[in-house]
């Protein structure tokens, strides 16, 4: 981490952690997915990996988060502490990426401040979901992928990429999108690597794919439902687009404005233009590798998520939180570069940005207050939804009922 920015990075990361601690003061959010992870971790604590593919919870979810919770003994205080750690790590890693991408001092600090108080981050870290761990690992994956393309390369460090890729698969199956896109990008630049360095680069592409196929094969061989992996079941593409575009609108503009559907489409167009401008600018600035990693992976992820059937409106911001950091970095990379060449006074641009910053700050403050005042559920097995008790209980437990 650059010494010149270490203090500001630690300060802003601390602010983010304090905000999240306020969210988690009265507990951590529990949803249907959360019960599955906890039931899976309970099974691992009792039986280890023996018969893991017979456990219905693991037929629905990959195992890595349940493994972490098993190590933490399903202790909610330790899980909350883990989420605080994941947020701090995610922020510090993304701050390093900001340093590489945004050179203007004002916009560098502004982008970091925006990340540290981001509602999408507060949301996913306030619940017992896979996203906190996933976003942390994904941030590391971005950083090491970028570093493998620039500067001196250490062969041992390249072996971290396939490990991180397998971890992404172990947290969420959709992680295969990020590993395939970014590993393919690295392979397209094979001339940057020696023949020995190409081994971990190839493993970076192959191991996550094999891990995903092996897991699905194990699930299907033990009575898993192949339809559970069908992204397009109950698909309404136009509805999905509107639901996700609405999240982009809320990231940029406060709710309650007239013509929300039109503004949602405009927000989608804005981010599309930002991606195009970022690519164009990067070729003249030497930052094209990081920009292209962000654009290609975020676009691929968004494309796959558009195909998700039976999308719940409550999950829209949760899913897009995964690419909030890349989209935010691209947005202010473009704005900072454009502001340097703008005909209007740069100080006026700064004032506009500061005034706009009041909106995401107010949105986060409102949500933090709402979550901390209302409290969030704590885990009680007897409160598990009826469907979980019937379909997702551990087989060995059900025999004793």
| Mean per-residue pLDDT, 390-399 | 42
Per residue in 167-194, pLDDT (tens digit) is 999 999 999 999 999 999 999 999 989 8
* Neighbouring-strand partners of residue 127: 29
Q: What distance in Å separates the CA atoms of residue 388 and residue 33, rounded to the nearest whole number?
A: 10
Q: How confident is the model at residue 337 (pLDDT cuts 50, 70, 90)?
A: confident
pTM: 0.92
Q: What is the pLDDT of residue 233?
A: 56
Q: What is the pLDDT of residue 371?
A: 72
Q: Who has greater pLDDT, 54 or 264?
A: 264
pLDDT, the chain, mean: 87
Query: How many C-beta atoms surround the C-beta of residue 386 within 10 A?
Result: 7
DSSP classification of residue 29 = B
For the cut 70, the answer to whether the pLDDT of residue 229 exceeds it is no
Q: What distance in Å separates the CA atoms of residue 317 and residue 301, rounded to the nearest whole number?
A: 14
Residues with Cβ < 8 Å from 4, sequence gap 6 or more?
none
256-262 LR contacts (CB < 8 Å, sep 24+):
none
């Amino acid at each position: 981490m650059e010494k010149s920015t270490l203090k500001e990075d630690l300060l802003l990361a601390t602010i983010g952690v304090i905000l999240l601690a306020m969210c988690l003061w009265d507990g951590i959010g529990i949803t249907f997915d959360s019960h599955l992870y906890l039931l899976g971790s309970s099974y691992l604590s009792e039986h280890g990996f023996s018969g893991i593919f017979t456990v219905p919870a693991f037929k629905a979810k990959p195992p890595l988060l349940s493994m972490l919770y098993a190590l933490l003994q399903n202790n909610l205080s330790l899980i909350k502490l883990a989420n605080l750690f994941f947020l701090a790590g995610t922020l510090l890693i993304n701050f390093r990426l900001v340093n590489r991408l945004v050179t203007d001092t004002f916009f560098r600090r502004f982008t970091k401040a925006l990340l540290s108080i981001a509602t999408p981050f507060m949301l996913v870290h306030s619940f017992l979901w896979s996203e906190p761990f996933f976003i942390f690992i994904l941030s590391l994956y971005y950083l090491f992928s970028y570093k493998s393309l620039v500067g001196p390369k250490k062969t041992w460090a390249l072996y971290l990429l396939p490990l991180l890729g397998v971890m992404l698969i172990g947290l969420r199956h959709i992680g295969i999108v990020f590993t395939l896109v970014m590993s393919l990008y690295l392979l397209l630049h094979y001339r940057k690597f020696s023949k020995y360095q190409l081994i971990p680069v190839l493993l970076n592409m192959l191991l996550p794919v094999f891990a995903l196929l092996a897991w699905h094969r194990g699930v299907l061989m033990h009575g898993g439902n192949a339809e559970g992996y069908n992204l397009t079941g109950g698909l309404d593409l136009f509805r999905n687009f509107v639901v996700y575009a609405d999240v982009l609108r809320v990231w940029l503009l406060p709710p309650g404005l007239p013509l929300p559907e039109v503004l949602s489409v405009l927000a989608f167009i804005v981010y599309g233009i930002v991606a195009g401008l970022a690519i164009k600018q990067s070729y003249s600035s030497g930052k094209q590798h990081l920009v292209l990693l962000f654009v290609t992976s975020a676009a691929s992820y968004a494309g796959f998520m558009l195909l998700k059937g039976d999308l719940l409106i409550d999950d829209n911001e949760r899913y897009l939180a995964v690419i909030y950091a890349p989209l935010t970095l691209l947005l202010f990379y473009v704005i900072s570069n454009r502001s340097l060449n703008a005909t209007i006074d740069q100080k006026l641009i700064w004032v506009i940005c500061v005034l706009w910053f009041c909106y995401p700050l107010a949105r986060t403050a409102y949500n933090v207050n709402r979550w901390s005042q209302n409290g969030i559920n704590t885990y009680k097995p007897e409160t598990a939804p009826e469907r979980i008790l019937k379909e997702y209980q551990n087989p060995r437990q059900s025999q004793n009922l």
